[in-house]
Amino acid sequence: METLRNGRWSVPAVSGLLIVLSWLSGPLVGRAWVADLFLIVAAVVAGTPILIKAARAVAVKVIGIDLLVSIAAVGAVIIGEHWEAAAVTFLFAIGHALEDATLNKTRSALAELVAVAPDVAVVLRDGEQVQVDAEQVANGEVVLIKNGAKVPVDGEVVAGTPRPSTSRRSSPDNSSVAMSGSSGSTPSTPR
- For the chain, the structural domain boundaries read 2-115, 120-180
Residues in CB range of 45: below 8 A, 6 or more apart: 11, 14, 15, 18, 89
What's residue 172's pLDDT?
45
What's residue 17's pLDDT?
93
d(CA 4, CA 191): 55
**Nearest 5°: phi and psi at 120?**
-120, 160
What's residue 21's pLDDT?
92
pLDDT tens track, the chain, 191 positions? 444 455 789 999 999 999 999 988 877 777 788 889 999 999 999 999 999 999 999 999 999 999 999 999 999 999 999 999 999 999 999 999 999 889 989 998 888 887 777 788 888 888 888 888 888 888 888 888 887 777 888 778 887 776 644 444 444 444 555 555 444 444 444 44
What's residue 75's pLDDT?
95
| Helices (H), ranges, 1-148 | 2-5, 10-29, 32-59, 65-78, 82-116
What's residue 78's pLDDT?
95
What's residue 154's pLDDT?
78
Q: The pTM is what?
A: 0.58
What's residue 137's pLDDT?
86
d(CA 34, CA 150): 64
d(CA 88, CA 95): 11
DSSP state of 141: -
Contact (Cβ atoms closer than 8 angstroms) between residue 89 and residue 43: yes
What's residue 162's pLDDT?
66
Architecture of domain 120-180: Distorted Sandwich (2.70)
